[in-house]
A and B are shown apart, each in its own frame.
Chain A
C-alpha cells in the first residue's frame, strides 16, 4: 500500500528516520528520541501533526449535533474556546478522543486521531441525518504543527502577527505566522505548555506555506535550542504526561469511566448523547477496572501487552496498554488496567517482563513527573 505523506514530508525525508504510522510515512526521530524529548521538557520542540484528522462542522444545528455525538458539553463553550472530549458508541466504548473548538456559534473545528481519520468522519456523517450541519474533512488542506515546551510561547510569538501570552489553555485564535494565515490553539499532547497551529491553504501537493512556518519556527527557536521532534518523542512525552493513546489505552471496548476520563462525561448536560444510557448503567453497576500508572521499582522496561501481576506474583491482574522508558524519570513506566482493589497509589505490582516478574508500584500518572518541575502548570520565567 502506498503510504501517505504530510505537507512536511520534504523536510522529514531529508532530516528524519521515517516509519509507517497510521498509513503515513512519518519521522520517528530526527536526532534521537531522548534529546528531542528533553528539548520539549526543558525548552521547545516542534512536531508535524498534519497526519491527524481535521473537520469543520458548520450549520445552525452544528452545536446540537456535536453535543449529541460526544460526552463533554459543547454548549458550555464560548466562541474561541475548545475542549477535550471522547465520543462513544452505544455500548459506551470509546470511538475516539478529540478536541472540539467553537470558532463561532455555528462553526466548529474538530481535531481527531490520525489512526481514526476515516472512521471518525464516517461516524460523524452517519449520524448527521436530520441535523442542519455540513461536515467537511479539511485534513488535507490545513497543515498542523505542534510547538511544545516552556519556550513554545516565546518561540511562536517571534513569528506571530499578534501577542500570545494572554491566550488561555484551550483557547484558539486566528493570526498570521510569518505572513501565513493560520490559527493557534494553546493545547498539546506533551504535558508542556505550547500551541498547536493550523496552517491554512497548505496541501501535500502545495506544501509551501507549511514548510515556511516550520522553517521559521526552527529559526525562531534556535536561541532556545529548539529541536524538530518525531513520533518517538511524541509518544514518550505523552506517556510521561499520562495521556491516552487511542488504540493502546483506549478503544471501542474501553469506556471513559474505567479510562479515568469521567471528567469529560457530562451526564447532566442538556441533551442526550450516544452512549449515555450505557455509561449510566456502567456507573450504576460500578466500574470494575481502572486505568492506572505503574513505575518500575527494579530494572526493566514495561511494554504494551506485558502482563500485570499482583505484588506477590501470584496471579495476573491486568495488561500494560502503554509502557516504555521515561527519559525524565530515568525509569520504566507504564499505564494499564487493573481491578478496582489494586488502583490505590503505592500498591505493589509486578510486570511480566519476558518471564521475569519485575517489581513495580501504582503511582500518580497524570502526569508521572513532578509538576513543580515539569509541565504546563509550572511557572516559567
Chain B
C-alpha cells in the first residue's frame, strides 16, 4: 500500500509537518500537513492553544491524537495566537478531510516573520523531506 501526499505551493513547512500560510493582512494561518494527517490517520482529539498566548518558534501549541497515537503540534513561527479553529473540537476529522483548508489550527500574528520564514521549508524542500522519511 503506497500513499501520495499533497504539498501545496506557496506555503511554508516545518520538519515536524506543520504548514504556514502568510495572509494578505500580515497574519499567518497554520496547521498540520497532509503527510502528518495521513500518518496519524483517524484523528479523534485535538487540543488547541489559548487565544492571546505569545509563543516562540517551535513551541508546542497543541496536541493531535488519533486512535493509536499522540502528536504534538509546534508553532512554525514566533508570535501571538489571535484565533483558533474551534470547529476542530467537535469535528477533529476536519484535520483528515481538509488539512490545508477547514482543518487549519491557529491564526497567528507574527513577531519576526522574515527571519522565521528563512528557517522554514518551501513546498519543494518539504516534498524532498517527506520522501526521505519514507526510505
A-side interface residues toward B, CB under 8 Å? Answer: 13-18, 28-29, 32-34, 232, 236, 299-301, 303, 324-325, 327, 332, 354
Contacts and interface: CB of A to CB of B under 8 A. Distances in A.
B42 A300 contact: no
A271 B99 CA distance: 62
Nearest to A303: B70
B68 interface: yes
Interface of B: 1, 41-42, 44-45, 63, 65-68, 70, 89
B45 A301 contact: yes
A143 to B, nearest CB: 22
Given A232-B67, A301-B44, A332-B45, 15 more contacts: A13-B1, A17-B41, A32-B42, A33-B66, A34-B67, A232-B68, A299-B89, A300-B45, A301-B65, A303-B70, A324-B67, A324-B68, A325-B44, A325-B65, A354-B63
A224 to B, nearest CB: 22
A29 B68 CA distance: 11
A325 B41 CA distance: 14
B112 to A, nearest CB: 28
21 contacts: A13-B1, A16-B1, A17-B1, A28-B68, A32-B41, A32-B42, A33-B41, A34-B44, A34-B67, A232-B67, A236-B67, A299-B45, A299-B89, A301-B65, A301-B70, A324-B67, A324-B68, A325-B44, A327-B67, A332-B45, A354-B63
Contacts, number: 39
- The 8 A-B residue pairs with the shortest CB-CB distance, nearest first, are A33-B67, A325-B44, A34-B42, A32-B42, A325-B67, A301-B45, A301-B65, A232-B68
A232 B41 CA distance: 11
B70 to A, nearest CB: 7
A332 B1 CA distance: 30
A44 to B, nearest CB: 20
B68 A33 contact: yes
A360 to B, nearest CB: 15
Contacts of A18: 1
A265 B68 CA distance: 33
A47 B109 CA distance: 49
Nearest to A235: B68
Contacts of B1: 13-18
Contacts of B66: 33
Contacts of A17: 1, 41
Contacts of B41: 17, 29, 32-33
A34 B93 CA distance: 12
B34 to A, nearest CB: 16
B115 to A, nearest CB: 30
A306 to B, nearest CB: 10
Contacts of A33: 41-42, 66-68
A33 B67 CA distance: 7
B90 to A, nearest CB: 10
A33 B68 CA distance: 9
A17 B67 CA distance: 14
Contacts of B68: 28, 33, 232, 324
B25 to A, nearest CB: 32
A97 B113 CA distance: 57
